[in-house]
Structure 1
Amino acid sequence: MSLSTRERSHHPDVTAPDGSEVRILAATSRGSMAQFSLPPGAVSKAVAHRSVEEVWLVTHGTGRMWRRLGAAEVMVELRAGISVAIPVGAHFQFRNDGEEPLHCVGVTMPPWPGMDEAYEVDGVW
């Protein structure tokens, strides 16, 4: 077991398959954490995950997230304090509708396995 500590970088560590900027945070054997960011006016690609589920917390900015799982489909307004669940296989897409960066902290369970985890799907934007 590792007592992981990691400081958030000032610059993105990678670009996610959906196009958002990713700053990698602490991880354990059962989950990983990252900050996802979109600049003002940006829209992510619509994606789904093959094997991981995520929970996100909006920490800064405003926008919207679309999610679809089977027959269920929702659109949620994003603002600081809103959290959302993204189950395995859910289609999702998010956008920044504000004038400041949109930042979300996400926890991935199990830990993010690699860039081929996400695959593109049809989105709303």
Structure 2
Amino acid sequence: MVFQFLQLLSPARGDRILEVGTDSGWTAALLSWWCGSDGITSMEVDPQVAAQAAANLKTTAFTPHLITGDGLAGCPERAPYDRVHVTADVSRIPRAWIEQTRPGAMIVLPWHPGGVTSCD
């Protein structure tokens, strides 16, 4: 499933990508390998999961920008993004993700009517 979502995302070298849901850090590492670590921002809401992802990524050559926080708000200080990759089910796209993307950007997410929603 990860590879199917990455195919839909269609990242390119040099893209600036916001990943919402770091989990183990594996996808952040894949995106860093493909696009370069400098442009990857990965957010994880759970501090324990974020700490484990940071530890996992330290064992690699990849250094994406990791943030522990609510991914629904995005990360405006690292915007604009060419791509937004979301791992949590959502029922609607938060306005912050749209506002933080460049024209023509792509947002890939698992839509689910009962998924996480923002307060927008």
TM-score if structure 1 supplies the norm length? 0.28
Bigger radius of gyration? 1
Higher strand share: 1
Q: Which has the higher contact order (CA 8 A, sep 6+)?
A: 1
Higher helix share: 2
TM-score if structure 2 supplies the norm length? 0.29
